[in-house]
A and B are shown apart, each in its own frame.
Chain A
Amino acid sequence: EVQLLESGGGSVQPGGSLRLSCAASGFTFSSYAMTWVRQVPGKGLEWVSAISGSGYSTYYADSVQGRFTLSRDNSKNTLYLQMNSLRSEDTAVYYCAKNWGPSKPFYDYWGQGTLVTVSS
């Protein structure tokens, strides 16, 4: 059974940092690109960042480019999102999601989400 378990969310002041983790199980982690999608409570979905299976390629939304860094440790089946220079508009539930397949960036499994609150 595929499972994705996010952790690391919490409250932080503007300008602060957080690192989110996503522990994966039930599939060959290194074979799949992974993605973070966020959702402001009560609002829609926003794609944040993606990483290839090998970790060599990363992609970012313009809204987080230069502030967020996505990485993965395939030996630990874990995805990481380092978030720096956080802003109030980064407040959201952050979901990690497994890409369905190569060159098909839609998402067949999602974690339960972790809430990030940026507020003074």
Chain B
Amino acid sequence: EIVLTQSPGTLSLSPGERATLSCRASQSVSSNLAWFQQTPGQAPRLLMYGASNRATGIPDRFSGSGSGTDFTLTISRLEPEDFAVYYCQQYVDSPPITFGQGTRLEIK
């Protein structure tokens, strides 16, 4: 089973700042990585797939990069609605699908 480790656990930033979230895989997943955003009481929302492809309707302030074992989700200028929990998910080795433990992005 591929383990995904996200860092940091919590990121405290202000609106307008740049956020950089990391996801590291225990073995290569090539580009088979997705990112999700979850706000309180809501289901996860797909942000990125294939490591760097934005899902339908996702603003271009969100970008993804990386391949192999190291991935980054960047939010260029934080909007108030971006403060949420973010999860990465690998889908190269399935089943089982695995998710990272999440990064909480909170308002500073």
**Do the two shown chains form a genuine complex with each other?**
yes
| Count, chain B residues at interface, CB 8 A | 22
Q: Does B59 contact A (CB under 8 A)?
A: no
Inter-chain CA distance A114–B105, complex, in Å, is: 25
Mostly, the B contact residues are: loop
Q: Known interface pairs A105-B91, A106-B34, A106-B89. Does A47 touch B46 (Cβ–Cβ under 8 Å)? A: no
Inter-chain CA distance A13–B97, complex, in Å, is: 28
Q: Which residues of B contact A (CB under 8 A)?
A: 34, 36, 42-46, 49, 55-56, 87, 89, 91, 94-102
Give the tally of cross-chain contacts (CB within 8 A): 57
Inter-chain CA distance A59–B89, complex, in Å, is: 17
Q: Tell me whether B46 and A107 are in contact (CB under 8 A).
A: yes
Mostly, the A contact residues are: strand
Q: Tell me whether B95 and A59 are in contact (CB under 8 A).
A: yes
